[in-house]
Amino acid sequence: MVSLQHAHHRSGQGPRPRRSRLAVVSAATAATLGIAFLNAPSADAGHARDAGSHGSHHGHAGGHSPAYLNAKLPTKLRVADLLGRMTLAEKIGQMAQAERADVTDDPTQISRLGLGSVLSGGGSVPAANTPAAWADMVDGFQREALKTRLGIPLLYGVDSVHGHGNLLGATVFPHNIGLGASRDAKLAEKIGHITAIETRASGPQWAFAPCVCVARDDRWGRTYESFGESPALVRRMETIIDGLQGRKGQMDQRDHVLATAKHYAGDGLTTYKDTPDDANDYPIDQGIDEVSRAEFAKLALSPYPDAIRKHHVGSVMPSFSSVDWTEDGLGNPIKMSANKELITGVLKHAFGFKGLVISDWRAIHQLPGTYTDQVEVSVNAGIDMFMEPFSGDTVGYPQFIQTLTQLVNSGAVPMSRIDDAVRRILTVKFDLGLFEHPFTDRSLMNTIGSPAHRAVARQAVAESQVLLTNHDRTLPLSKQAPVYVAGSNADNIGNQAGGWTLTWQGSPTGVIPGTTIRAAIDAATDAPVTYSQDASAPVPAGANGVVVVGETPYAEGPGDVNGPAWAPNGIQTMQLSAADQAAIRTVCSAAATCTVLVVSGRPLIIPPDLLGQIDALVASWLPGSEGAGVADVLFGARPFTGKLPVTWPRTLAQEPINVGDANYDPLFPYGWGLTTGRR
């Protein structure tokens, strides 16, 4: 998902859609994909709610409230009752999602069109980016939704991918790649829970997280959104879903939200293209999976059964990417938004997914044909709700509603498909308790960014640090020796937090409450600390050098290696900048010891001559707001325990490189990580 501000770049992204055949769902679909061992679960039984209704409804015989407002009835019965009362217009309205900016000036669109959902894209925030302003905004939109004939509440979504990153002052956790390095499933659940608390206390009830992709090529700009290159590691860390949603049946509580498993499926498995057709095409992001069905099942589909059956994720977002089965030999990729075989046949039928399927940001516009063709194919493929902001275009959610209405009336989209979609949407809304409590419960608002929450983030940072080299036991550092700190990422919290922080792309100038690594080192040691970003200041005699280098923020395609020319923070290379390399050489030649921290969303290439000068090398990933967690392991308050969640290559030419490859010869293998004790 992306921001409103940058969405105009999306129209030409990815390999240009080619008119493709639609795969036909057959009884053999699951077996063909290598998933015949998976059995669909039984239908949801639903569970009771104990609360009153949220408002008055007119036209009910005898003055009695309809069954769908009876919180003591099972969800399944309430959904059936409400669905039976809805007109076609009311049903299709529930399938449409608008962006906050689209409805802010005229919120009556929500009631007039009967919209089912509103979202905030990355960086789309209220005028005052505070928890109260967020809650006021969401509640204002909710009041409009409740004015409709049936009073169906609104669902509000936001990208809480490493905490509620859009909200200034929220706790910003390490991105998923760092959590994967920790291998700590219980900590991931705790992080999901805190993220849910801070998200719902400020209004939104839906998090577009987590990404359960398996990143197989570090040149991909979303590598940091993955827990790692191993499907088993991704499955292990899916406990974050339990934290977000609670255990099954707990979503209606004030400290939980609806989670989203994304991006279904194979977004981390696309083929790298060295020479895009034009400057707007992405080489990896939104690309094509050119794999066999068996490989796709093993690497792309395997995280989803656990997410659905074990963790009961309530929504799934299809990927922008395409799949082209290599054994078919047709060269005819199918976009996931049009892939009925995988959405309906595998996800809904074989995996037994009962939740709602939400399209990504204007994703259906990448399908071939007219807008009518795009809507018809994607609805019939099995998408239930459509993220259709205007985003600078003339076609958005009103046109979606109009087009889908015409398609139903013409018979091109069967009414059964509409009922299935709306049934799923309503079920989620009942499970969230929105009919009983549609407005924001602000009782936990004071915990947003609290010391207790930030302490968990600090723990996550410490556990995510991976010690790659440690010659002569350089680490942990002594608190009594002077320290010399240098490098581009030593004192920049925007770089430290990465993408999806305040804005879609993140920014080197983005300032959030928290602690930079430099400030954390200052607080952790008893000795003098000298800071010089470019290492131009003299290195004191006997000082231990700490050079913090790495990437600037990015998100999605702009983070691809050799990505699009319009990338806001520059073309990404997976190479250390000349300035960072110079700082390392200067400090390593003058300091008593030289420790290098790599703050990045993926491995960076370390030139051999530099590696020979470095005493201790640490993968710090994107730690977020709590740089103190880095200092904790540097000075021995906590031990190093992190393990690489992805393979660290010697050269960029080795990409893609993954554990299990033939002739596997990385600089550091998957799972590598030295340990230290405490001082």
Which secondary structure element, helix H or strand E, spans residue 618, and what is its range? strand 616-619
- Whole-angstrom Cα distance, residue 169 to residue 608? 41
Q: Is the pLDDT of residue 461 over 90?
A: yes
The reply to whether 470 and 323 lie within a common domain is no
- Which residue from 420, 342, 339 is spatially nearest to 378, judged by alpha carbons? 339
Which secondary structure element, helix H or strand E, spans residue 459, and what is its range? helix 451-464
Q: Is the pLDDT of residue 5 over 50?
A: no
The reply to whether 483 and 374 lie within a common domain is no
pLDDT digits (tens, 9 = 90+) for 586-598: 999 999 999 999 9
Among 306, 556, 615, 632, which one carries the catalytic annotation?
556
Among 184, 285, 360, 560, which one carries the catalytic annotation?
360
The reply to whether 222 and 349 lie within a common domain is yes
Catalytic annotation on 341? no
The reply to whether 347 and 486 lie within a common domain is no
Question: Would residue 32 count as lying in a domain?
Answer: no
The reply to whether 361 and 494 lie within a common domain is no
Query: For residue 361, what are the domain limits?
Result: 45-55+67-446
The reply to whether 381 and 499 lie within a common domain is no
Residues 6+ apart with CB under 8 A from 576: 549, 550, 584, 604, 605, 606, 607, 610
pLDDT digits (tens, 9 = 90+) for 355-401: 999 999 999 999 999 999 999 999 999 999 999 999 889 999 999 99
Question: Would residue 397 count as lying in a domain?
Answer: yes
The reply to whether 440 and 520 lie within a common domain is no
Return the residue matching tokens 């994967």.
180
Tokens of 475: 């680490």
Q: Is 206:452 a contact under the CB 8 Å cutoff?
A: no
- Whole-angstrom Cα distance, residue 115 to residue 89? 10
Please report, as a single letter, which amino acid is at residue 338: A
The reply to whether 171 and 256 lie within a common domain is yes
Number of H helices, E strands in the chain: 22, 17
pLDDT at 49: 31
pLDDT digits (tens, 9 = 90+) for 442-453: 999 999 999 999
Of 415, 446, 477, the one marking the end of a domain is 446
Question: Would residue 459 count as lying in a domain?
Answer: no
Residues 6+ apart with CB under 8 A from 222: 211, 213, 215, 267, 268, 285, 555, 556, 559
The reply to whether 436 and 486 lie within a common domain is no
How many CB atoms are located within 10 Å of the residue 276 CB? Answer: 17
Question: Would residue 678 count as lying in a domain?
Answer: no
Question: Would residue 451 count as lying in a domain?
Answer: no
Question: Would residue 104 count as lying in a domain?
Answer: yes
- Could you tell me the pLDDT band of residue 331, with boundaries at 50, 70 and 90? confident
The reply to whether 390 and 496 lie within a common domain is no
The reply to whether 517 and 437 lie within a common domain is no
Phi, psi of 37 (to 5 degrees): -75, -5
Which secondary structure element, helix H or strand E, spans residue 99, and what is its range? strand 96-99
Q: What is the mean pLDDT of residues 99-127?
A: 97
Q: Average the pLDDT over each of 188-202, 263-277, 319-333, 564-578 and give the range with the smallest value.
A: 263-277
Residue 173, domain CATH: 3.20.20.300
Q: Is 237:188 a contact under the CB 8 Å cutoff?
A: yes
- Whole-angstrom Cα distance, residue 205 to residue 441? 11
Q: Is the pLDDT of residue 44 over 50?
A: no
Q: Crossing angle of helices 397-410/371-381, nearest 10°?
A: 70
For residue 282, give the 3-state DSSP assignment.
Answer: coil
pLDDT at 29: 44
Question: Would residue 109 count as lying in a domain?
Answer: yes
pLDDT at 329: 78
Return the residue matching tokens 């997410």.
307
Indicate the number of domains in the chain. 2
Residue 528, domain CATH: 3.40.50.1700
Q: Is the pLDDT of residue 622 over 60?
A: yes
Phi, psi of 430 (to 5 degrees): -65, -45
Measured in Å, how far apart are the chain's first and last C-alpha atoms? 44
The full DSSP string for 90-110 is HHHHHTEEEEHHHHSS-THHH
Of 414, 446, 478, the one marking the end of a domain is 446
pLDDT at 678: 66
Q: What is the mean pLDDT of residues 613-640?
A: 98
Question: Would residue 538 count as lying in a domain?
Answer: yes
Q: Is 392:10 a contact under the CB 8 Å cutoff?
A: no
Catalytic annotation on 324? no
Tokens of 462: 């410490």
The reply to whether 413 and 276 lie within a common domain is yes
